[in-house]
Structure 1
Amino acid sequence: MSRRKNGPIVEYLNTISAWHPISAQIVDYIQHPYRGLRAKSKRVDDLGNGSVLPSREAGYPLPVALIARYQLTTVDAFACEISIDDPYSQMTHQQWMESLWRGCVGPDIVVYIQDHDFAEMGQSQDLVYSARLHDTLGIVIPRARGSSKEPKEKVLRHVVWAIDSIVMSTRSQ
């Protein structure tokens, strides 16, 4: 039996419901990142000290929202916990769980730590690689199965470099 008071399906639906307003805030932040800067610039302009255009062209950073344990993690965790008591397959069950996130903004980049058997990792244990799944870019960090160690600093630097490369290529488009 679940440790959750209302059962896993109710908790899952509550979790998704809680993410909807957060999703709206993320969209607003990404679409209008310079609101506060515009107000400050207008005040400076009103004083006759010149004006500043707070925009991407003016050199302001591209807005990025980093969100830990978002849709994929939540879907996977609850899909394993919610039993399939109907004739649907595991794949259909997973797709149904994913479809409940409609209306929430989806990720552009997913950073995923993937467990591997140490022997099969070989020299690749420090490598970070990219994969594309539909419209989402995935950055995969291999880790020895059962290891609780955090990724090495050079691996994290590579992840930062990969994300920065993606953001910069997006900015130039």
Structure 2
Amino acid sequence: MKIYITALVFLCISKISLAQQEIPDWFAKNMEESIGTWITDNSAYKNENEPFDQYGMDWQWGIGKKSITGTLYGIINGKKQGTFWEFRQYWDFGKNQGILVQYGGDGTIGIGPMIMNEDNQSELVQEFVSPNGKKNVHGHRSILKDGQLTTTSFDISEPKSWKKRRSYIWYSKSTK
């Protein structure tokens, strides 16, 4: 009888642990809407140290459509100039939150959670660690509406102290 009960408990626990958790609808929608190529104008920030006319982002599905991967690059005279950042966005089932990890060409790594605010604005807070060990916290707030993605970046010195850096309006250049 003990063996029968033990086996029954084991089977119940096994079935529960095999149950697939689902990615929340808001996060799945965010990934779906990100797929493709996005371009933004950089004329407001262009200078001799930042000669790019535009920036581009390319996003594609990861294996099994459970994550997306992307790149950020500069554009001069319509030509891609190299990748600055590589990204992976996924749902962390252990922490029950969306995560964005990014890897810079210089070895800097940024990671942090993404949430969706009540006003349909995504908010991302990431800690960046450079190869020399220096740490910084940056935030992004983004709104995707009518095929237009508006992003604003911030320096964060304290949880409630967000200092605005830049804003861009991105336009989708691909069909999904």
Structure with more contact order per residue of length (Cα contacts < 8 Å, sep ≥ 6): 1
Q: Write 1 or 2 for the structure with the bigger share of strand.
A: 2
The answer, yes or no, to whether TM exceeds 0.5 is no
Normalising by structure 1, we get a TM-score of 0.25
Q: Which has the larger radius of gyration?
A: 1
